[in-house]
Amino acid sequence: GQQLNQSPQSMFIQEGEDVSMNCTSSSIFNTWLWYKQDPGEGPVLLIALYKAGELTSNGRLTAQFGITRKDSFLNISASIPSDVGIYFCAGQTWLGGATNKLIFGTGTLLAVQP
Amino acid sequence: DVKVTQSSRYLVKRTGEKVFLECVQDMDHENMFWYRQDPGLGLRLIYFSYDVKMKEKGDIPEGYSVSREKKERFSLILESASTNQTSMYLCASSLPGGSGNTIYFGEGSWLTVV
């Protein structure tokens, strides 16, 4: 099945540092989503992007929908220990009728040293 | 808030056993999904359903089946569990339609097949 190329695979940073991660695809998506998964939990939606070129913020998080509709990035500013987790990008396609489908990236594991 | 509930958080089953993973959502969503999550592979779609009694294969349906007898409930079935099905399983739901209808996840079910 199709997967998105997400990088980096893991990051180990100091508290207070900024973080950047991105996803690329060979396919065009209608929507880009960024999720965070805390240890032992399911992914939780952080940011949803609906238009090419869109830049959206959610607190210390900023994400952009690439102009080509084939990529997206997520930035986290001034990281804190609770930012620890796995971050997933996802591209959403519409299959027609009532059905949409998510294609996920392989995840970025973020560790923050206090 | 959307709530997707997976009744079994941790299971240990023997090879060859029949396994049921249950998922219930309380937001009257038409679409429901089952993913499995493995390290380095991200989330991969097993099956999805866009209506009661309807089901569609995802990217990795082999060895699995599903049941959707009621709108709020979507069950994943492993007819004869094998060790390579040891994984974390995530259920999700969403509203129907195209771009912009985000998907919400349950907390996950950790299955170990011995």
User: Which token pair is A81?
Assistant: 């220990």
- Model confidence over B1-36: pLDDT tens digits? 668 999 889 999 999 999 999 999 998 988 899 999
Euclidean distance between CA atoms A23 and A35, whole angstroms = 12
The mean pLDDT value for A27-54 works out to 90
pLDDT band per the 50, 70, 90 thresholds, residue A101? confident
Euclidean distance between CA atoms A109 and B10, whole angstroms = 23
Identity of the residue in A1, A41, A42 whose CB atom sits nearest the CB atom of B44: A1
C-alpha of A106 from chain center: 10
- Model confidence over B56-85: pLDDT tens digits? 999 899 999 999 999 999 999 999 999 999
Chain A interface includes B105 (CB < 8 A): yes
Do residues A41 and B108 touch, judged by C-beta distance below 8 A? Answer: yes
Q: In this predicted structure, what is the pLDDT of residue B94?
A: 85
- Model confidence over A51-96: pLDDT tens digits? 999 999 999 999 999 999 999 999 999 999 999 999 999 988 776 6
Question: How many interchain CB pairs under 8 A, A with B?
Answer: 88
pLDDT at B52 over 90: yes
Do residues A70 and A22 touch, judged by C-beta distance below 8 A? Answer: no
Question: Is the preceding omega at residue A8 within 30 degrees of 0, hence cis?
Answer: yes
Chain A interface includes B28 (CB < 8 A): no
Q: In this predicted structure, what is the pLDDT of residue B76?
A: 98
Q: In this predicted structure, what is the pLDDT of residue A97?
A: 59
User: Which token pair is A54?
Assistant: 């869109």
